[in-house]
Amino acid sequence: MKQVLITGGGTGIGRAIAWAFAENGDAVTIAGRRLEILRKAAEGRNIACRQADITDEADVEALFQTPYDVVIANAGWGASGKTAKLSLADWNATLAVNLTGTFLTFRQALRSDPRPSRLIAIASTASLKGNASVPAYTAAKHGVLGLVRSIALDVAKTNTTCNAICPGFTETDLAETAITGLMDRFNIDRSEATAKVAAGSPRGNLISPDEIAQTALFLASKGASAINGHALSVSGGEI
């Protein structure tokens, strides 16, 4: 049984990953700012809840009072808006959650004794290509991938690996925001807006959080022990 920490584990991709590891018989801890959301996600499952803001250094340090075998940096958020219209506040908030939060989480994991055997960042296809509509999110996720590759080299001679999962648009609150935004902007119905959001995928539909969860299970398995510094695209062929 592995000890697993998942940040941003109360909703969306993080919740799906938490449920998958719990169903696998692992001891799961989910962390996030909203304790009531975490408790709802954990209800009826072998999942512990820890309230924490992953952009706060002290909160992250407190998460690692006990060691973990698997640490998944999933917490993320992104402000939309093209560069010329993007506020500095939204830029800083987006980098803080996605990039600084991942750095703080992985730094504390590497300071643990023993260290986790698996570090997994939930990045995005936005870490592998540009996106004019979400430049702050894209820059942050590019940074996450650079951090993952740097850590992978740092830990290469140990029993720890560090990898990134890069999902395409997934059935989460982020995709819902994009869909409703298109509906309002272009006065179109939900099906047409959803099709526009999913148009980047050759499959023509959104990625399921469960597909990402199964990928995380694989990267945490013994069979993935030689995979290190990899960006695994889960996008139906988008990348």
Report the 3 state secondary structure along the chain. CCEEEEECCCCHHHHHHHHHHHHCCCEEEEEECCHHHHHHHHCCCCEEEEECCCCCHHHHHHHCCCCCCEEEECCCCCCCCCHHHCCHHHHHHHHHHHHHHHHHHHHHHHHCCCCCCEEEEECCHHHCCCCCCCHHHHHHHHHHHHHHHHHHHHCCCCCCEEEEEEECCECCHHHHHHHHHHHHHHCCCHHHHHHHHHCCCCCCCCECHHHHHHHHHHHCCHHHCCCCCCEEEECCCCC
Q: From the candidates 128, 137, 174, 197, which is the catalytic residue?
A: 137
Active site residue 68: no
Distances (CA, A) of 74 to 84, 90, 105, 204: 28, 19, 10, 25
- Rounded to whole angstroms, the Cα distance separating 168 from 233 reads 8
The catalytic residue positions are 137
